Amino acid sequence: MRLIFVLLVFISTFAFAQDQPKSLQKDPYFTPATTPKKNAPPAEKVKHIHSDELRKDDKYDGNNYFTGNVQFSHQGSLLNADLVIVYEEQNFIKAIGNVKLQNADGSVITADEMEYDGNTQRGIARKNVVLTDPKGTVIKTETMYYDKVSNQAYYNTGGTINDGKSTTYAKSATYFLTTRTIDLTGRVKIEDAQYVLEGDNVVQHQNTNIVDINGPTVITNKKNPLNRIVTDKGNYNTNTKEAFLYKNSKVYYNNKILTGDEMYYNQLTGFGKATGNVTLDDPNERRWIKGGYGEIYEKKDSAMMTKNPYAVKALEKDSMYFAAEKILSFQRPDPADIKVKKSFLRAFRKGRFYKSNAQGRADSIAFNETDGVLHMYKDPILWSNGKQVTGDKVEAYFNTEKENIDSLKVLGNAFAISKVDSLNMKDEFNQVKGKLMTIYYGEDNNIKEAKVIGNAQSITYSDDENEETKEKERIGISLTSCGIIDAIFEEKMLYVVACNIGANSDTYPMSKIEPAKRKFPDFNWNTKDRILKWRDILVDTPNYEEVKYSTDNDLYDKAQEAIEKEKAKEEAKKPKRVRR
């Protein structure tokens, strides 16, 4: 009897269970983030609006399902599909086939399948998912999670975002529909007709078309892939193509590279600027410029650097260094062949340059890097291995293959000075001056010859070899003047080998030439401002202590003393008038 009762209970329970629909195992995404508040009103039910047919059988675990032009609504949103399964107790629906969800804000989601929880107002769309926002942005992916309360959508199955101007490819993205902000994580690619942005951790602002960059990113010009922006942090306007860069940033343009602590670059106009530790690198010219502030003009192929700028041009055996208050660099087509570009460097105000065999300073310096021609304007002064050249303007011609100076041209008030003996501290200097001067260098990078035209004058120390001791002895000082002077520089001497047009030359023994005549009135041997090492160009002047040279006037003083004694003797011989 007891066995029969147990069987009856089991059969009735089984039959009851068959009449009860099974609940759905939902995705963890539908689990509320917070516990519902006590005494909170029940959530609004998902409402059936229309369908061609309602069924309830074992097909979907005993749950009601609607087919044919099905439409449901919830909180202002409308859902259409071919088939909708309703899990009544859980306020949950599952839609299959031609699913379309229209939200109150105007956004639309279409997919092959969709699940929606009326309690949490969250949904998951699967297969061929497309989200279109009210302003036309279209997101496509395979699985999308959306939350009506926070009004955001998320995917991590890879997808595309198209706003009509550009297309974004990303592994995962969160779209905040209220602000129209898209947070993209992982590797991201944004592409339009002109440029491609590839980076990690990017945020797109659809309203402003600004992209926030929060990881290593490259923005490439599609027509010229060598022109690109590299940065770890910044903002990029996809409309105006303006980039604001804040960390580890570089701008590549015209085979040059601009870097700085903070940078701005407009890809359309080609204008860029940088502050902080700024460097403009030109690998083709093997030259770079550093400073505190820089600007580039891509279309003009020019750049400017200020705030303690200096430039370094690397050569095979040596390097040249330039500094000034402002440095410009630019390229121009060669008139002889417009396909070839020539490079130029300009240093304005307090210009300085250093090379191992030549150093100089002037108010401004212009250097044709391609042809190796250097111009020095306004108060130029050039030093070369113990020799000094000054004038109104100095032009230096470099041999670009040997990397040495071939010659100098000094235009106006030309003046060349050389120490008679660089090994001693005697106040003895060979000098040659005139209106114009051409100076030629020898194979040892030393000044070898000078040709002076117009009111040419020279002061040279003359030595001769003692026949007995075979040592050089000082003969005296030669004063020469004529229309044209040809002079040869040797290690310690300057020889006038030709003096043409109104020549006049006299040699005075050391005992008979007064010290004031041993130098021209405008003599200025500058040791305070001389550039001895490349770092000296980083300041207006190294301000070295002036070198004190010893004068050697013993012979002249003794001669004058003897003359005075002879005068005194002659005076003593004269009869003296005596008053009575």
List, as one string, the DSSP characters of 226-261: TSEEEESEEEEETTTTEEEEEESEEEEETTEEEEES
pLDDT score, position 402: 73
- Residues 388 and 430 sit within 8 Å (Cβ to Cβ): no
Maximum CA pair distance of the chain? 190
Q: Could you read off the pLDDT of 193-205 as tens digits, one per residue?
A: 999 999 999 999 9
pLDDT recorded at residue 542: 92
Q: Is 106 exposed, middle or buried (0-12, 13-18, 19+ CB in 10 A)?
A: exposed
Q: How many residues comprise the chain?
A: 580
Note whether 162 and 170 are within 8 A (CB).
no
Distance in angstroms (rounded) separating the CA atoms of residues 354 and 381: 12
Q: Tell me, what amino acid is at 374? A: L
Tokens in use for 518?
């041993």
CA–CA gap between residue 4 and residue 10 (Å, rounded):
10
Beta strand pairing status for 404-419 and 429-441? antiparallel
Cα distances from 50 to residues 66, 78, 201, 204, 551, in angstroms, run 9, 11, 44, 39, 117
Owner of token pair 């609504």: 73
Per-residue model confidence (pLDDT) at position 8: 38
pLDDT tens digit string along 196-236?
999 999 999 999 999 999 999 999 999 999 999 999 999 99
For residue 58, the SS3 value is helix
Task: Walk along the chain (580 residues) in steps of 10 and give the mean pLDDT of each run.
Answer: 38 43 78 68 88 86 91 93 92 95 92 94 95 92 94 93 92 93 93 93 93 95 93 95 96 95 95 96 92 95 95 86 95 83 93 91 93 93 89 90 83 90 84 90 78 89 77 83 82 68 80 86 92 92 88 64 66 65
Q: Could you identify the residue written with the tokens 């770092």?
A: 535
At 563 the pLDDT is 65
- Say what the pLDDT of residue 478 is: 86
